């Protein structure tokens, strides 16, 4: 479609200026967030395309703040300056009805940001490009298997303008491929994500999923209980992203709801683990500033096993007496700031196979499924293994096993780590933006139940 996959900074500014002009009064603070997403997605299942969609969505969010911190927010989906101007007037009307908020921290001031790489070919991706990638995937699928997944290309623009002087714009491009290959008794998973679609090896990703499914045939039962485990990058992503979500948001920290409250600086996991939130990592797909217009900072959450950093938006930062780290969500944000790009730094454990090779007897987990929080402050989560769970004996996969349920404190699982791979792979779990994660070998992990399929 989408004749104009990128509006450009000038067009975004014109939309924002319509809002500023509409409520151009003294003692009025205004923030305009323009978010333009042109997304194409081709889904396949049963080894054929079954959904093929495109969406061009241009959204403007206008926040108006009056004296005493009274604020209102109006979101509209439009490319019309008149609609944005009306949104600003409506936001002003809402603000007039709202009570004062003495905790209002002010809007983001002018601050420079860095550019992230953008791939023009991904921005201009056509249905034929996506079909070609899916064709590459399907060509790798043997007759005895079925493939299901999605190939997605996104061209995005995020711009934030504030009456405090910030005028910031970033284009972005992302391509992702997620897929499952299913055989008669097993399934295998693989995924990829890059800023440029040319960097996704569709056929190679498919071959990985096929190999995983082939290795997983005829799974056997193993008892639930405590096992040594090797967690592959998608499973590690689950652990790290949930840990970041539960432990390192500024608001939860200040309200005493996270395990870091009162314990910053203390060791919380194995000293060999360092977790960093870095949206600008060359291996990631993040944007360079948050929805308040604050440039994203690289924040060490865990350094050498100790909890050392908290991410903030402007509100939590003001309450904590510090500065925003650029982790604000769209207003009105009632959840507080969020670490959306946490990554566990690679270790010295060699390739993924080397990490498996050091396992005398344990379970290899490809990924987890439908993970959810059981006890937030204990960082206890539960979920299932999926698409490739294996018994490892004498450093080699000896059998596929049926899926298991785990109920496990993340902090307890990471208290002792036997190996961290130096090799990493793209993975994501609870956030759309993924990152690169190593594999881990842990001495003990609690599986609380089993199921009847692999």
On whether the CB atoms of residues 361 and 228 are closer than 8 A, the answer is yes
Residue showing tokens 């690679």: 346
- Considering only 12, 148, 197, 236, the residue that binds other proteins (CB under 8 A) is 148
Where in 375-404 is the site for other proteins (CB under 8 A)? 375-378, 382-384, 386, 403
> With contacts defined by CB under 8 A, how many residues of the chain interact with other proteins?
91
Kindly report the length of the chain: 454
How far apart are CB 79 and other proteins at their closest, in Å? 5
- Considering only 71, 274, 285, 325, the residue that binds other proteins (CB under 8 A) is 71
Among residues 57 and 120, whose Cβ is nearest to other proteins?
A: 57
Among residues 134 and 276, whose Cβ is nearest to other proteins?
A: 134
User: What is the 3-class SS of the chain, one letter each residue?
Assistant: CCCCCCCCHHHHHHHHHHHHHHCCCCCCEEEEEEEEEEEEEEEEECCEEEEEEEEEEEEEEEEEECHHHCEEEEEEECCCHHHHHHHHHHHHHHHHHCCCCCCCCCCCECCCCCCCCCCHHHHCCCHHHHHHHHHHHHCCCCCCCEEEEEEEEEEEEEEEEECCECEEEEEEEEEEEEEEEECCCCEEEEEEEECCHHHCCHHHHHHHHHHHHHHCCCCECCCCEEEEEEECHHHHHHHHHHHHHHHCEHHHHHCCCCCCCCCCCCECCCCCCCEEECCCCCCCCCCCECCCCCECCCEEEEECCEECCCECCHHHHHHHCCCCCCCCCCCCCCCCCCCCCEEECCCCCCCHHHHHHCCCEEEEEEEEEEEEEEECCCCEEEEEEEEEEEEEECCEEEEEECCEEEEEEHHHHCCCCCEEEEEEEEECCCCCCCEEEEEEEEEEEEEEEECCCC
- Considering only 150, 200, 306, 411, the residue that binds other proteins (CB under 8 A) is 150
Interaction between residue 332 and other proteins (CB under 8 A)? yes
How far apart are CB 393 and other proteins at their closest, in Å? 25
Among residues 86 and 441, whose Cβ is nearest to other proteins?
A: 86
Interaction between residue 349 and other proteins (CB under 8 A)? no
How far apart are CB 66 and other proteins at their closest, in Å? 12
Interaction between residue 235 and other proteins (CB under 8 A)? no
Among residues 181 and 419, whose Cβ is nearest to other proteins?
A: 181
How far apart are CB 221 and other proteins at their closest, in Å? 13
On whether the CB atoms of residues 330 and 61 are closer than 8 A, the answer is yes
How far, in Å, CA of 392 to CA of 358, rounded? 10
How far apart are CB 114 and other proteins at their closest, in Å? 28
How far apart are CB 143 and other proteins at their closest, in Å? 12
Backbone angles phi, psi at 152, to 5 degrees: -130, 140
Q: Which residues, listed in sequence order, are joined to residue 189 by a DSSP beta bridge?
A: 180
How far, in Å, CA of 136 to CA of 150, rounded? 13
How far apart are CB 207 and other proteins at their closest, in Å? 16
Among residues 77 and 416, whose Cβ is nearest to other proteins?
A: 77
Among residues 274 and 380, whose Cβ is nearest to other proteins?
A: 380
The answer to whether the Cα torsion of 262, 265, 269, 274 is positive or negative is positive
How far, in Å, CA of 90 to CA of 64, rounded? 9
- Considering only 27, 103, 282, 360, the residue that binds other proteins (CB under 8 A) is 103
- Considering only 15, 16, 107, 134, the residue that binds other proteins (CB under 8 A) is 134
How far apart are CB 165 and other proteins at their closest, in Å? 24
Where in 4-33 is the site for other proteins (CB under 8 A)? none
Interaction between residue 47 and other proteins (CB under 8 A)? yes
- Considering only 10, 27, 112, 128, the residue that binds other proteins (CB under 8 A) is 128
Among residues 152 and 436, whose Cβ is nearest to other proteins?
A: 152
Where in 261-290 is the site for other proteins (CB under 8 A)? 262
How far apart are CB 125 and other proteins at their closest, in Å? 11
Interaction between residue 97 and other proteins (CB under 8 A)? yes
Interaction between residue 310 and other proteins (CB under 8 A)? no
Interaction between residue 114 and other proteins (CB under 8 A)? no
Interaction between residue 433 and other proteins (CB under 8 A)? no
How far apart are CB 141 and other proteins at their closest, in Å? 12
Interaction between residue 208 and other proteins (CB under 8 A)? no
How far apart are CB 46 and other proteins at their closest, in Å? 5
Among residues 2 and 110, whose Cβ is nearest to other proteins?
A: 2
How far apart are CB 94 and other proteins at their closest, in Å? 5
Interaction between residue 240 and other proteins (CB under 8 A)? no
């Amino acid at each position: 479609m989408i004749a104009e996959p990128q509006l450009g900074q000038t067009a975004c500014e014109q939309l924002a200026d319509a809002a500023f002009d509409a409520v151009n009064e003294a003692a009025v603070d205004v923030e305009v967030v323009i978010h333009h997403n042109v997304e194409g997605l081709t889904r396949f299942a049963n080894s054929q395309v079954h959904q093929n969609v495109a969406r061009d969505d241009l959204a403007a969010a206008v926040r108006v703040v009056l004296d005493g911190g009274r604020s209102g927010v109006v979101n509209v989906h439009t490319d019309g300056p008149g609609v944005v101007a009306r949104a600003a007037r409506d936001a002003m009307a809402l603000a007039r009805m709202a009570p004062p908020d003495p905790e209002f921290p002010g809007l983001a001031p002018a601050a420079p940001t860095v550019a992230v790489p953008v791939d023009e070919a991904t921005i201009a991706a056509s249905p034929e490009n996506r079909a070609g990638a899916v064709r590459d995937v399907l060509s790798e699928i043997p007759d005895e298997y079925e493939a299901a997944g999605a190939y997605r290309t996104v061209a995005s623009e995020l711009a934030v303008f504030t009456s405090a002087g910030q005028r910031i714009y970033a284009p972005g491009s992302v391509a992702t491929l997620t897929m499952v290959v299913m055989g008669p008794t097993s399934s295998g998973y693989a995924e990829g994500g890059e800023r440029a679609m040319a960097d996704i090896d569709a056929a190679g990703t498919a071959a990985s999923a096929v190999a995983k499914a082939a290795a997983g045939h005829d799974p056997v039962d193993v008892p639930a209980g405590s096992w040594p485990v090797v967690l592959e990058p998608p499973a590690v992503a689950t652990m790290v992203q949930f840990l970041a979500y539960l432990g390192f948001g500024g608001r939860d920290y200040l309200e005493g709801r996270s395990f870091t409250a009162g314990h910053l600086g203390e060791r919380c996991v194995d000293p060999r683990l360092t977790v960093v939130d870095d949206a600008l990592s060359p291996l990631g797909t993040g944007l360079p500033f948050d929805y308040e217009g604050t440039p994203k900072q690289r924040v060490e959450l865990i350094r050498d096993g100790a909890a050392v950093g908290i991410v903030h938006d402007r509100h939590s930062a003001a309450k904590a007496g510090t500065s925003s780290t650029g982790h604000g969500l769209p207003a009105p944000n009632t959840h507080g700031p969020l670490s959306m790009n946490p990554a566990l730094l690679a270790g010295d454990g060699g390739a993924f196979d080397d990490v498996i090779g050091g396992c005398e007897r344990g379970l290899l987990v490809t990924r987890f499924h439908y993970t959810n929080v059981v006890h937030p402050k204990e960082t206890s989560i539960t979920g299932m293994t999926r698409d490739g769970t294996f018994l490892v004996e004498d450093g080699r996969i000896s059998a596929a096993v049926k899926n298991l349920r785990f109920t496990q404190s993340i902090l307890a699982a990471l208290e002792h780590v036997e190996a961290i791979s130096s090799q990493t792979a793209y993975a994501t779990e609870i956030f759309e933006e993924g990152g690169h994660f190593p594999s881990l070998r842990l001495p003990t992990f609690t599986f609380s139940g089993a199921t009847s399929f692999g």
